[in-house]
Structure 1
Amino acid sequence: MTATAERLGHLPAPVARLAASPHLLDGFLKVSGLFSATTLDPLAREVVILTIATRNGCEVCVAMHTAALRGLGADDALVDALREQRPVADERLEAVRAFTLEVVTTSGAVDDDALRAFLARGHTPQNALEVVLGIGAYTMSTLANRLTRAPLDEQLAPFAWHPHVPA
């Protein structure tokens, strides 16, 4: 927690809540660190994360990773599409978003066409497995944040998000 607080300048409430289980917090920090070191580029990693965060309805994660995308210089169209769970215009990043959802929807039993579509946009078989790593890391955090009812830190208020509830 100390390293996280030093890196961000504050201790995020979600991290403090995850610390109720030191094993969960340690596991998340290790796995998310491994995901950050994958061959997927930073924008592609954030697409995986925001796709999982919106799918799982984690308001805190969506706000945190909207801020991360903004820090990477992502344009409004990309951020808005991801937050609204819509396809994104960039075909390479859309392949990441669609593949992430396909992996989750099929519990990993992705058919050959879906894998070929992912690979056709410049991704590798290694990237496909790295998407699985990201899904695991951020499923862990989104579920834990929702379970602990982690509040949104005031620094993230400009990036607040609420899940769309169908009428």
Structure 2
Amino acid sequence: MTTINVPTREEVSSANQAIFDNLKKNLGVVPNLYATLAHSEHALGNYLAFQNGKSSITGKAREVVNLVVSEVNSCEYCLAAHTMIGKNSGFTDAQILEIRSGKASFDPKLDALARLARNIAVNRGHADTTLVDTFFAAGWTKENLVDVIVVIGDKTVTNYLHATTRVPVDFPAAPKLAA
């Protein structure tokens, strides 16, 4: 198998070097998966614009979607990163594990979100209409539904990138779910 390296700042375009500098300034580091996007002249900037676009799904809700989708796609990189981000967002270790399994019994609104996000990811967009109705009954809106699908797309991009490149995970490993 061809090894895909994590490019250094010197190996990427000047536009991507500027993005690396900004990431390092804001995060203290350039995460390996972001750096890998910089093999393309445009992918890193396009992805960050997409990821950081305005959305009605933010904060804890976004982390629910990120964790659920990363679990469905078995992405060890994104599970590691979003376990850390989830903890920083206020979720406990037990809540993160439950979210990854597609549930959030500790919060009815997040539970409806987790169940729907998992169903959409597992069924490649062919959502169970009962779960969509439950999502709306929990207080989510049509705007939220559209934004959930966009977040699923965002996370799927990085899940697939890692699955294909297998670049090293530079976050503490996420614990495995009990079988």
Give percent identity, aligned residues only: 29
Residue of structure 1 aligned with 2:60, choices 31, 37, 43: 43
Equivalent pair of 2:50/2:154 in contact (CA under 8 Å): yes
User: Where does residue 144 of structure 1 map in the other structure?
Assistant: 161
Structure 1 residue 163, shift from structure 2 partner: 5.6
Name the structure 1 match of 2:81.
64
- Which string of whole-angstrom CA distances, capped at 9 and with x for unpartnered residues, describes residues 95-123 of structure 1? 11111122233433334322110011111
Distance in 2 (alpha carbons) for counterparts of 1:45 and 1:117: 18
Normalising by structure 1, we get a TM-score of 0.85
Contact 1:81 1:87 in 2 (8 A): yes
Q: Secondary structure at the match of 1:10?
A: coil
Shift of 1:73: 1.4
Q: Distance in 1 between matches of 2:103 and 2:57?
A: 19
**What 5-or-longer segments of structure 2 have no aligned partner?**
1-19
Equivalence for 1:116: 133
| Whole-angstrom CA distance in 1 between matches of 2:176 and 2:94 | 18
1:88 is matched by which residue type in structure 2? A
Q: What RMSD in Å do the two structures reach over aligned CA positions?
A: 2.0
Q: Is the 8 A contact 1:58 1:145 kept in 2?
A: yes
Structure (1/2) with the larger helix percentage: 1
Where 2:42 maps in the other structure, the secondary structure is: helix
* Partners of 2:75 and 2:130 in 1: CA distance: 30
Q: Deviations over 1:16-59 (max 9, x none)?
A: 1121123322222111111xx31124111000011111111111
Identify which of structures 1 and 2 has the higher relative contact order when contacts are C-alpha pairs closer than 8 Å and 6+ apart. 1
